Structure 1
Amino acid sequence: MAEEKVSGKIVDWKIIQRLFQFIKPYNLQFISLVVLILLGAVLAPLTPLLIRYTIDHHIAVSDYQGLTTMLIAMVALLVVQGLTQFASSYLSGWLGQTIIRDIRVQLYEKILYLRLKFFDDTPIGRLVTRTISDVETLADVFSEGLASIAGDILQLILIIAVMMYADWRLSLISLSTVPLMLISTYIFKEKVKKSFTEVRTAVANLNSFVQEHITGMNIVQIFSAEPIEQKKFETLNQEHRNANVKSILYYSIYYPVAEVIAAMATGMIVWYGAKEVIGLQTSYGTITAFIMFINLFFRPIRMLADRFNTLQMGVVSTDRILKLLDSEEYTQNEGTYTPAELQGKVEFRNVWFAYNDPEYVLKNIAFTVDAGKTIALVGATGAGKSSTINLLSRFYEIQKGQILIDDVDLKNYELGWLRSRIGVVLQDVFLFSDTIERNITLGDPTITREQVIEAARLVGADEFIQRLPGSYDYNVMERGATLSVGQRQLISFVRALVRNPRILILDEATASVDTETEELIQAAITKLMKGRTAIVIAHRLSTIQNADQILVLDKGHIVEAGRHEELLESGGAYANLHRMQYKELV
């Protein structure tokens, strides 16, 4: 998933329009912000005009009473300007943070309901960048972007108008350096835009690398690859540093250049204005006002470059976020069928499935499991066993064929309702950094502590849980690092069975546990399978001898089907697997 490049357009109005959809619930606050910013732009030129009037009409004629009145007026104006600036600053920050809160909620909700294929195709670090960094950029759009740009432009227009009204000749002199400022600002904007893109790409790469390698740290350490990974990280970190230093360099050049240009304008005003004062063509107050006008005029020009970059980067971030929010390729196709209860009959009708077309991993798979019966899937690694059960929970969509539960197409069921009635226990158990109880209930308020304890007793997990500090309130830490493999597996059994599923899926559920724990689990499984439809993937063939039917898969095909004794007598693929496995045990 490559990083998108910043477009050459200053503003993409289609994306800006979409951006305003997020603002819509807060129209009143946004309009208030615009009014405050425009009010600030209108008030800005008043201070130089008041100072001009004070110098020419009160100081020049020693009118101390009038001077006092004007000082009071200027203090009042400064108070109003300060309050306006405070209100606009606070409101823009509030608006930005509120909107990105809403966007982040929408984004995470979207991610929660995307198919697993999306996560297969998308690095997790990129998703972190989308939900954190890209969304955070939008806050700057609202605090320093849209409304602020409008205020700066209005301020420039008003200052030019007031300057022309005060003295058109001094105005032309003072504005003669504007082309230099505009050229330097444009160059700065383009350079910083490019460096910002490099920074964001570097951040995304760092996120992806760190997330992936922390997750796989055990592999790194097992193969003593720490020095190699350290060098990789240092390279990525150096790229991030270089991109940031480049942007710092552009800022370090631009602002002194802008100050020099502004100083040139001030110097020209003083030089020309002195001649005018000597010739009685203008006043001291006018010269003073124009020096202040120059500072007021060049400040928004300097800021506009930054604001346009902020807006453009916000547009890029918005584009990325919208592509994710608008994505339909990975969206789950929700059905609406929710029967009063599920019987548990499962049927695969000539199912073909590929993770990536046209490389089919399941080819014309057809079988039926009657309600309450047990079917086992066996075969070599890559035969298609796990793919089969993933399709039953609709983690992926099939390309051809049909999957039915209780003679109803899987696509017709409401997905959340269906999954709540299918219990899944995987070989690779994932536990969140939370209490044991919340890892079992996953925050479902309908599951009581008593139900959790009862399920744990049935599986045989209650004994070891009670010995832990805090019992069911014990924090297992990230990925269950403080528990043994067998303990994590037992908790996964409790998590699946506490919901009383009608269909039970066990994917190599006892492959990672010791013999004693396996015997404990097998005793619980025998009880729990009674009256439920069960689909079992087993590496140890001894655990599936009592299955009602065993399917042998090879390269995506069902090559054999029958009961344990029948398949042994036929002397086919299952008999070979059985012979090889027991030969290993001898």
Structure 2
Amino acid sequence: MLETQDLNEQPTTRLDNKTITRRLYQYALRAKKTFVVALIMLVIGVGAELAGPFIAKNIIDNHMFAINQPFYQTTADDPHAAEYNGAYYKRQGFWGDGETKGLEVHVVQSGTSFYFVEGPMDNTTGDKTFDDGTLTIRTAQGEQAVYPAVALSSTELFSFYQPELPGIYQLVGLYFIFLLITIVTEFGKTYWMQSSANKVIQELRIDLYAHIQRLPVPFFDNLPAGKVVSRVTNDTEAVKDLFVAVLSNFSSGAVYMLGVYIALFILDFRLGMVCLFLVPLLILWIILYRNIATKYNRIIRSRLSEINAIINESIQGMSIIRIFRKQKQTEDEFEKLNNDYQFFQNKMLRLNSLTSFNLVNVLRNLTFALVLWYFGSASLGSFDSAISLGVLYAFVDVLGRLFQPMTGMVNQLAALDLSMVSAGRVFELLDEEGEHVTDGAMPRYKGNVRFQDVTFAYKKDPVLKHIDFEAKQGQTVALVGHTGSGKSSIINLLFRFYDPQQGTITIDGQNIRELPKQWIRQHMGIVLQDPYLFTGTIASNVSLDNEQISRERLEQALRDVGAEQILSDLPKGFDEPVVEKGSTLSAGQRQLISFARALAYDPAILILDEATANIDTETEALIQSALEVLKRGRTTFIVAHRLSTIRSADQILVLHRGEIVERGSHEELMEIDGRYRQMYRVQTGIGSNAILDGTEQPQDREAPVPTGLRTT
């Protein structure tokens, strides 16, 4: 079973954030058109949304409080004229150059009341009081001015506001137009951004899966299947979140913040300078957060991979777990991994709770307090202060919008770091050296195989030593020996899953190192003791969806191995559905399908790895004649423990501790009182006391032949 790795264990190679970012950028370029469209939508949307505060400022300063400007008497037909006591007045902002102005009047506010003052006024700011038709204004310098005034009723006051309504209506209409633009661009930005992200992740997963197909067999000896699955599914999904959520929030936030700061400086330069301190603070915040979070996220992703691995292993070996009553032990191992995962998840939860929305709120409140304290008090007290009330309103509105993207960016920091860690794991797998895939094919070779002084080791100790033999076209060569003697290692070398450290292997006189691996395997076939079937149908498992194998050819292959008789009871015959590994079929049925697969591919070299070991006697007798047809004209290697199945072999190689200790035909080896004769007597019951000494064990375990026939 899987064991939990040490919490402080670090991988031998790790990509830095700069490299990961550069490679993610290269993938993003594959969908650059849609990303550009999304960015354009984003810029337009930000501009349209930020137009709102400027429209509000215009309404406040140029219309709602514009009546504080002087009014001049005009004619009744003037569209901007306000009527009061039979006379018509137009405020200063509506007068054009060269127009003749009439009598000057003012509308002055004192508290919640408004007063009409006829004639020019030197100053309209200060402390105002009204008593018995007299308006008194006292300035901060102690000066005092007295003007005759008349209180305005609500109807009379509205008449002065009425000329402002058309302008207000236009601005409100413009606001709704910008609002509609914002809605459309937000939809477009979200759609194009996510479609771009989906495209990028599709490309990344295709590249990753294709690379896994090219990885050498030794790579999978050291990495559990569940961890590989986690890289392809969980880690790429986290990278998708990077493009969909993180990139969207950060790009939107950056553009939005830039737009906000431009708007702040347009409104008032001093106010914009006051708020600049937020930018370096945000950058420092992100750097500190990532330095802490990356350490946790690496362990979290590692634990998730280990959890997937143990789940995959448990499902694959469920029958063994139950037979040997290992459920409790398996649960304990899973619980240990799950507890580690939860422990570091809680660490991340505490970190995110401390450095997320709450901290943004604190910054926002401090900034608002600073702005209102420094600028707001004077603005609220008078209309002619350091900044206008409209500017202050617009500034507060825009400043509030500044914290929306900040909140979005901060809340995505956890996803950003997790995505970067996952991207690093994906790229590390992509950086593993794979086998070169060569297009094209080679003509079907004859199948003359020669091993010349071949020595091979999986790690340090050799499992094959000075192997030397020749198998000619049409011959059957049997490999026998006790477990660990090197039989499967010879097959691994023949398939070029591994290459020997010493010696050469040739096919038809050509060194196989000089040939692309895919070309060699194209004309090889294998039948395993426990054949692997893929999800699909019986027919698809014979052809493996190879377009060159016709329906007639695969059906004929099934008939030639006697499968028609064995599979006739299935409801859909050769189109019977097959689940993963063919678990709904008997061992004999699976083996027959594997034989038919080998026959349909018509290999020049055929390997039978204990092909009849799991077949009952009746089924074995049925396919013996089919085997003779299958071997005809092909170089056949038989890995066998049941020596009765190889009596007709042209050459039998007896291996012991990685060396060929005996060779010859069955009759020749039986004449020698050697290892083969002893094994044969033990199996047949003749001289059963002649059992080999148990001390004769291999020094190194050999790797099994990879299951399945599909090769790249």
| TM-score when normalising by structure 1 | 0.91
Tell me whether 1:58 sits opposite 2:79 in the alignment. Answer: no
Q: CA offset at residue 225 of structure 1?
A: 0.5
Equivalence for 1:103: 204
Equivalence for 1:292: 397
Contact 1:361-1:383 at 8 Å conserved across structures = yes
Contact 1:375-1:535 at 8 Å conserved across structures = yes
Contact 2:263-2:398 at 8 Å conserved across structures = no
Query: Greater helix share, 1 or 2?
Result: 1
Q: CA offset at residue 101 of structure 1?
A: 0.7
Q: Work out which of the residue numbers 494, 499, 511 in structure 2 matches 1:397.
A: 499
Tell me whether 1:338 sits opposite 2:442 in the alignment. Answer: yes
Give the 5 Å matches for 1:98-177: 98-146=199-247, 148-171=249-272
Give the 5 Å matches for 1:470-481: 470-481=572-583
Q: CA offset at residue 584 of structure 1?
A: 8.0
Give the 5 Å matches for 1:213-252: 213-252=314-353
Q: CA offset at residue 252 of structure 1?
A: 3.5
CA RMSD of aligned residues (A): 2.8
Is the alpha carbon distance of 1:322 and 1:198 closer, same or farther for their aligned partners in structure 2, counting shifts above 3 Å? closer
Contact 2:300-2:344 at 8 Å conserved across structures = yes
Contact 2:249-2:405 at 8 Å conserved across structures = no
Q: CA offset at residue 438 of structure 1?
A: 0.9
Tell me whether 1:74 sits opposite 2:175 in the alignment. Answer: yes
Q: CA offset at residue 422 of structure 1?
A: 1.4
Tell me whether 1:301 sits opposite 2:402 in the alignment. Answer: no
Aligned-partner SS, 1:219: helix
Q: Structure 2 counterpart of 1:331, which letter?
A: E
Contact 2:456-2:463 at 8 Å conserved across structures = yes
How far, CA to CA, are the matches of 1:335 and 1:409 in structure 2?
A: 19
How far, CA to CA, are the matches of 2:14 and 2:184 in structure 1?
A: 38
Q: Work out which of the residue numbers 18, 32, 38 in structure 2 matches 1:33.
A: 38
> CA deviation digits over 1:329-354, x for unaligned, max 9?
x4257597713x32111111111112
Tell me whether 1:353 sits opposite 2:460 in the alignment. Answer: no
Contact 2:452-2:505 at 8 Å conserved across structures = yes
How far, CA to CA, are the matches of 1:201 and 1:81 in structure 2?
A: 42
How far, CA to CA, are the matches of 2:606 and 2:276 in structure 1?
A: 78
Q: CA offset at residue 185 of structure 1?
A: 5.7
Q: CA offset at residue 15 of structure 1?
A: 3.2
Equivalence for 2:190: 89
> CA deviation digits over 1:172-210, x for unaligned, max 9?
556677777666665555444444333322221211111
Is the alpha carbon distance of 1:542 and 1:397 closer, same or farther for their aligned partners in structure 2, counting shifts above 3 Å? same
Q: CA offset at residue 44 of structure 1?
A: 4.2
Q: CA offset at residue 402 of structure 1?
A: 1.0
Is the alpha carbon distance of 1:496 and 1:271 closer, same or farther for their aligned partners in structure 2, counting shifts above 3 Å? same
How far, CA to CA, are the matches of 1:274 and 1:15 in structure 2?
A: 50
How far, CA to CA, are the matches of 1:321 and 1:458 in structure 2?
A: 46
Contact 1:363-1:556 at 8 Å conserved across structures = yes
Aligned-partner SS, 1:241: helix
How far, CA to CA, are the matches of 2:575 and 2:298 in structure 1?
A: 46
Q: Work out which of the residue numbers 461, 465, 482 in structure 2 matches 1:363.
A: 465
Q: Which moved more, 1:150-159 or 1:113-122?
A: 150-159
How far, CA to CA, are the matches of 1:476 and 1:147 in structure 2?
A: 43
Is the alpha carbon distance of 1:291 and 1:585 closer, same or farther for their aligned partners in structure 2, counting shifts above 3 Å? farther
Give the 5 Å matches for 1:256-335: 256-272=358-374, 273-279=376-382, 280-281=384-385, 282-307=387-412, 310-328=415-433, 330-332=434-436, 334=438
How far, CA to CA, are the matches of 1:8 and 1:118 in structure 2?
A: 19
Q: Any gaps of 5 or more consecutive residues in structure 1?
A: none
Equivalence for 1:522: 624
Q: CA offset at residue 509 of structure 1?
A: 0.8
Q: Which moved more, 1:74-83 or 1:181-190?
A: 181-190
How far, CA to CA, are the matches of 2:290 and 2:494 in structure 1?
A: 53
Is the alpha carbon distance of 1:193 and 1:75 closer, same or farther for their aligned partners in structure 2, counting shifts above 3 Å? farther
Aligned-partner SS, 1:534: strand
Aligned-partner SS, 2:457: strand
Aligned-partner SS, 1:466: coil
Q: CA offset at residue 371 of structure 1?
A: 0.6
Contact 1:188-1:305 at 8 Å conserved across structures = no
Q: Structure 2 counterpart of 1:527, which letter?
A: V
Equivalence for 2:551: 449
How far, CA to CA, are the matches of 1:359 and 1:336 in structure 2?
A: 37
Q: Which moved more, 1:178-187 or 1:136-145?
A: 178-187
Contact 1:510-1:521 at 8 Å conserved across structures = no
Tell me whether 1:531 sits opposite 2:633 in the alignment. Answer: yes
Q: Structure 1 counterpart of 2:42, which letter?
A: I
Q: Structure 2 counterpart of 1:33, which letter?
A: A
Q: Structure 2 counterpart of 1:52, which letter?
A: K
Higher CA-based Rg: 2
How far, CA to CA, are the matches of 2:167 and 2:686 in structure 1?
A: 107
How far, CA to CA, are the matches of 2:308 and 2:188 in structure 1?
A: 36
| TM-score when normalising by structure 2 | 0.76
Aligned-partner SS, 1:505: strand
Q: Which moved more, 1:164-173 or 1:255-264?
A: 164-173
Give the 5 Å matches for 1:385-464: 385-464=487-566
Tell me whether 1:579 sits opposite 2:681 in the alignment. Answer: yes
Equivalence for 1:488: 590
Identity %: 35
Aligned-partner SS, 1:237: helix
Contact 1:335-1:413 at 8 Å conserved across structures = no
Contact 1:334-1:413 at 8 Å conserved across structures = no
Contact 1:335-1:415 at 8 Å conserved across structures = no
Is the alpha carbon distance of 1:140 and 1:480 closer, same or farther for their aligned partners in structure 2, counting shifts above 3 Å? same
How far, CA to CA, are the matches of 2:408 and 2:437 in structure 1?
A: 47
Structure number with greater CO (CA < 8 Å, separation at least 6) is 1
Is the alpha carbon distance of 1:50 and 1:195 closer, same or farther for their aligned partners in structure 2, counting shifts above 3 Å? farther
Contact 2:45-2:181 at 8 Å conserved across structures = no
Equivalence for 2:25: 20
> CA deviation digits over 1:63-121, x for unaligned, max 9?
22111111111111111122222111111101110111111111111111222111112
Q: Structure 2 counterpart of 1:141, which letter?
A: L
Aligned-partner SS, 1:364: strand
Equivalence for 1:380: 482
Contact 1:34-1:147 at 8 Å conserved across structures = no
Q: CA offset at residue 60 of structure 1?
A: 2.7
Contact 1:44-1:296 at 8 Å conserved across structures = no
Is the alpha carbon distance of 1:185 and 1:110 closer, same or farther for their aligned partners in structure 2, counting shifts above 3 Å? closer
